[in-house]
Amino acid sequence: MEPYVIGLLGLALMLGMIFLHVPIGVAMGLAGVFTFGMIRGNFGPALTLFGTETVGKVASMELAVVPLFLLMGAFATVGGLSSDLYRIASAFVGHVRGGLAVATIGGCAGFGAVCGSSIATATTMTRVALPEMSKRNYSERLSTGSIAAGGTLGMLIPPSIILVLYGVLTEQFVKTLFVAALIPALLAVALYVVTIWVVVWRNPELAPPGDAAPWREAWAALANGWAAILLMITVTGGIYAGIFSVNESAAVGAFMAFLIALLRGRLTMARFWSALRDTAATTSMIYLMIIGASIFTYAITLSGLPEMMVSGIRDTGLPGIWVVVLLMVMYIILGSIFDTISSMVITIPFVFPLILGYGFDPIWWGILTVMVIEIGMITPPIGMNVFVMKAMLPRTTLRTIYAGITPFLVADVVRLVLVIAFPALALWLVDWFNLPR
């Protein structure tokens, strides 16, 4: 049997196990061992992949930042930093029409920079921002839409766990990816704010204006939120200024978030162990996926299937830009069905060689991939952020949330088109700082 045929059988086996609800990391690992064993004609060496790949990934310094950033996000949530960031934004812009929705986007951006998770950001801001907007008689459609869309910022704004995983899977520098994400992240925030202004300009009744907070109260909110601002500046600024490596920054951030929660008296023993349990559970899930993806990638590469796919697509004469567009559609569909990590690890073995084969920059492609998976997080028929919010808001219909998201989806498509058309939006800072890639 030809190796590429065995590769196709391995791919079918993986998809079949996922369809049967086998955990994705396990499905990829088993399919990889099957493919490798069939190609070699001996399953003895194939089984050793479980040991070698596990040891390699557990010992990886690049992956060591994942549990540290997760722990930082867990302690930041316990310490109430999300509320601080939201109050700061609300104090300065909450009095204008649509201001609380803008503050929600700002709070999501700030908390995303601390926790690095879209679902965690959406969950936290639902608790923090939605009650405030309800008190001000904001439309439920605008309120839920701004939270669901703002939650996706947690995936793109550094330090982003999904960017770390992309860097590990494709052997790209994580710091370079963080720098490349800055302008697209700021563009995302700006387009979301413009979207809110346009929506409330067309329908003023969706967001009545509030009373302007005295400057004294606004500056008091800023002063009370000093801990959250200090944590953001230390973690992200330390990386970009070259003071910390990414690993050191993650360790410092986790310790600072722990101290903030402790000094505020919010870190009870029960919350401490809960934060550790949640971090350990999420870390285990991520490592399992990465180990399974490594085994599967090794076996599929050995089968020659990715090279054959690249050659086949090239032979069609399809221009590279259309390949990118088709991949964007694929990722939006996958992102609406799978979680972000699953969407990435399943496709990397096939998509990344294709992108390199067409001569596209892998850093630019990494930013695009994260952006488009973001869009999938709020895209019907599923959208993980939407269903998380629905679980927290049983009286709110899915139709209401999706209606609120629609204007933000338009903004996301505009941003995607801009970054595809102008790769410098992702690469200019990388070139400016002369970072490796």
What do you get for the CA distance between the two ends of the chain, in Å? 39
| Secondary structure of residue 431 in the 3-state scheme | helix
- Condensed to tens digits (0 to 9), the pLDDT of residues 173-202 reads 999 999 999 999 999 999 999 999 999 999
**Inter-CA distances, 331 with 192, 274, 312, 342, Å:** 21, 33, 20, 11
Contacts of 74 (CB under 8 A, 6+ apart): 257, 275, 276, 278, 279
Q: What is the pLDDT of residue 177?
A: 95
User: What pLDDT does residue 269 have?
Assistant: 93
Determine the average pLDDT of the residues in 314-319. Answer: 79
Q: What is the reported pLDDT for 178?
A: 93
For the chain, state the CA radius of gyration: 22
Amino acid at position 91, single letter: A
Two tokens, residue 299:
């076996």
Question: Residue 403 pLDDT > 80, yes or no?
Answer: yes
Predicted TM-score of the model (pTM)? 0.86
Using DSSP, state whether 339 is helix, strand or coil: coil
Higher per-residue pLDDT: 436 or 405: 405
> CA angle at residue 383 from 363 to 296, to 5 degrees?
50
- Do residues 32 and 292 make contact, with C-beta atoms less than 8 angstroms apart? yes
**Does residue 364 surpass a pLDDT of 90?**
yes
Positive or negative: CA dihedral 342, 345, 346, 350: positive
What mean pLDDT is predicted for residues 16-28?
Answer: 88
CB 431 within 8 A of CB 364: no
Do 427 and 364 form a contact (C-beta atoms < 8 A)? Answer: yes
- pLDDT for the residue 405: 93
What are the φ/ψ torsions at residue 44 (nearest 5 degrees)? -60, -55
Give the HSE-up count for residue 405: Cα atoms under 13 Å, Cβ half-sphere: 30
Query: Is the predicted pLDDT of residue 116 greater than 70, yes or no?
Result: no
For residue 303, give both structure tokens.
Answer: 């089968």
**Mean per-residue pLDDT for 100-112?**
87
C-beta separation of 339 from 286 below 8 A: no
Amino acid at residue number 279: T
44, 299, 307, 398 from 384: Cα distances, Å: 39, 30, 33, 12
How distant, in Å, are the alpha carbons of 93, 95, 173, 214, 345 from that of 211? 10, 5, 47, 9, 48
Measured CA to CA, the distance from residue 393 to residue 376 in angstroms comes to 21
58 CB-near residues (< 8 Å, 6+ apart):
287
Query: What is the tens place of the pLDDT at every residue in 126-135?
Result: 888 888 888 8
pLDDT tens per residue, range 278-311:
899 988 988 898 898 889 888 888 888 877 877 7
Q: Are 209 and 191 in contact (CB under 8 A)?
A: no
Over residues 202-227, the mean pLDDT reads 78
Q: What percent of the chain has pLDDT over 90?
A: 32
Quick check: 213 pLDDT over 80? no
Q: Is residue 233 within a helix (H) or strand (E), and if so which, with residue range? A: none
